[in-house]
Amino acid sequence: MSSDVVISVHGLGKTYAMYERPHHRLLELIWGAQDGRWRRTHDALREVSFEVRRGETVGIVGQNGSGKSTLLEILCGTLTPSVGAIEVCGRVAALLELGAGFNPEFSGRENVFLNGTVLGLTREEVASRFEAIVAFADIGDFIDQPVRTYSSGMFVRLAFAVAISVDPDILIVDEALSVGDEAFQRKCFARIEQLRERGATILFVSHSAGTVVDLCDRALWLDRGELLADGPAREVVAQYQRFVHAPEDRRQKLRMMAKAGGVGFDGVLPSKPELRSLGKCGGADEECAAPVEPELIDAFDATLVAPATVVYENLGARILEPRIETFEGRRVNLLVSRRRYVYRYSVEFDATATGVRFGMMLRTVTGGEVGGAASCLPSEAIPVVERGSRIDVSFEFDCALLPGTYFLNAGVLAQSKDGEQYLDRRIDTLMFRVLPLARSIATGMVDLAIRPSWRSSAESDHS
């Protein structure tokens, strides 16, 4: 196996024996296996082969029962394959189904030490990381309560905090993050981004098409235990979604085309917003949200706080008081689509700076960049800002976003001997939510103010 390949799977298969009656298992032990008489078999995986290179983020998609969880359990070593070869290089941390690796009668504290040891840490290493684990999980005094008393959200917080605490070479996540709220999901995805930057390999199972497209470089599509497609995430997810939403009489043909390696489906791939609209509701995919009253009022919710702001090293400037305001000056973080707002922050300079510019970037729960802007072109930057100065920055913007939860970045740039660099930068410094409109035909993430029309030969135009 190449030194750059961390997961190598060749001809992998997993077969389960299925018995009609419990005593048939005993008869088989006595008389020997006789397929078809006392048992039948089910192939959860068949002839699956692929490789994953160091630093890749790979999504795995497929319908329920396609073999995704079985594959991940084999990769984690908790399940033995029936046939085939598998090699995994590096420390693996996994977040599979809720309850895996945790004793429900133990407290959260006891389970942290238990699970950390299972993941390869010594007791001393777990102890040294314990405070960071508890801080990330943010479950308060429940850390000393039995895990059986936890909600599903509290459980996944603690499980994910333990999994990432080992600084894994390979992180495997099986849909578990869908349990948390948007703030915690963003916190988790930010941590996943940090692991990726460090060179970790990520395997990610999700039913949310938009999440796979945003997060993953590559995707695998499993169906009935077979690997049908392996390629760029957007292309594979497009094939999978076209298959899922195709009539039953076309599915077998589409399946054969995918397995043969062709794009098929007329060669047309949907855009990211189209993929999101086919995914599960949540984050920026809030199409399933219940309509609210047409007369929406933007407001401020003090509980809507960014869970984990990443702060760059201060190099002579400090970003202060990031906020969104209406044009009347009211601070808001519950926004109404199709209205205009102002994103503001102040910058205090602790040292004289030259060639100064400011910036903003808006991101989704999964970290995808929706859009942003700089205050000006590099040639139009502020020539000199003296030490002790304070500059108030504002960016007016149209809220052309569809319902969901989003995050804002802030940054201040200046010239150095090596070129332009950040004097201060805040990632996910502000969290806000866009309220759903009761009467909106828009889908995806951005409202393009589309005005549809149609007409038949026997009617006048409709619009």
Cβ 458 vs Cβ 441: under 8 Å: no
Residue ranges of domains in the chain:
57-90+169-278, 310-435
User: For residue 144, how many C-alpha atoms fall within 13 Å in the half-sphere facing its CB?
Assistant: 1
Q: According to the model, what pLDDT value does residue 354 have?
A: 96
Tell me the fold of 57-90+169-278: Rossmann fold (3.40.50)
Q: With 0-12 CB in 10 A as exposed, 13-18 as middle and 19+ as buried, what is 228?
A: buried
* pLDDT at residue 30 in the model: 66
- C-alpha 251/C-alpha 357 separation (Å) is 53
Q: How much is the pLDDT for 290?
A: 41
DSSP-assigned beta bridge partners for residue 125? none
Is 234 within 8 Å of 275 (Cβ atoms)?
A: yes
Q: pLDDT at position 270, please?
A: 41
**DSSP letters for 284-329:** T-GGGSPP--SS---B--TT---S--EEPPPSSEEEEEEEEE-TTS
CATH number attached to the domain at 310-435: 2.70.50.60
Burial code of 156-172, b = ≥16 C-beta within 10 A, e = fewer?
Answer: bbbbbbbbbbbebbbbb
Q: Is this model's pTM higher than 0.85 or not?
A: no
Phi-psi region of 220 (alpha: psi -120 to 50; beta: other; left: phi over 0): beta
DSSP strands (E only) in 119-216? 170-174, 201-205
430 strand-pairing partners: 408
How far is Cα 320 from Cα 317, in angstroms, rounded to an integer? Answer: 10
pLDDT of the residue at 459: 59
Looking at residue 34, its pLDDT comes to: 58
From residue 278, alpha-carbon distances to 106, 181, 406 in Å are 40, 20, 19
pLDDT tens digit at each of 463 positions of the chain:
567 899 999 999 998 877 777 766 766 766 666 555 666 778 899 999 999 999 999 999 998 889 998 998 899 888 899 999 999 998 888 777 655 668 888 999 999 998 888 877 888 999 999 999 998 888 888 999 998 898 878 888 888 888 888 888 999 887 766 666 777 788 888 888 888 888 899 998 887 777 788 888 899 999 999 999 999 988 888 888 888 877 777 888 888 888 776 443 333 344 444 444 434 333 334 334 444 344 578 899 888 888 878 888 899 999 999 999 999 999 999 999 889 999 999 999 999 999 999 999 999 888 888 999 999 999 999 999 999 999 999 999 999 998 889 999 999 999 998 889 999 999 999 999 998 776 778 888 888 888 888 887 765 555 5
Query: What pLDDT was estimated at residue 367?
Result: 83
Residue 266 pLDDT? 38
Please give the pLDDT value at position 425: 94
Coil, strand, or helix at residue 392? strand
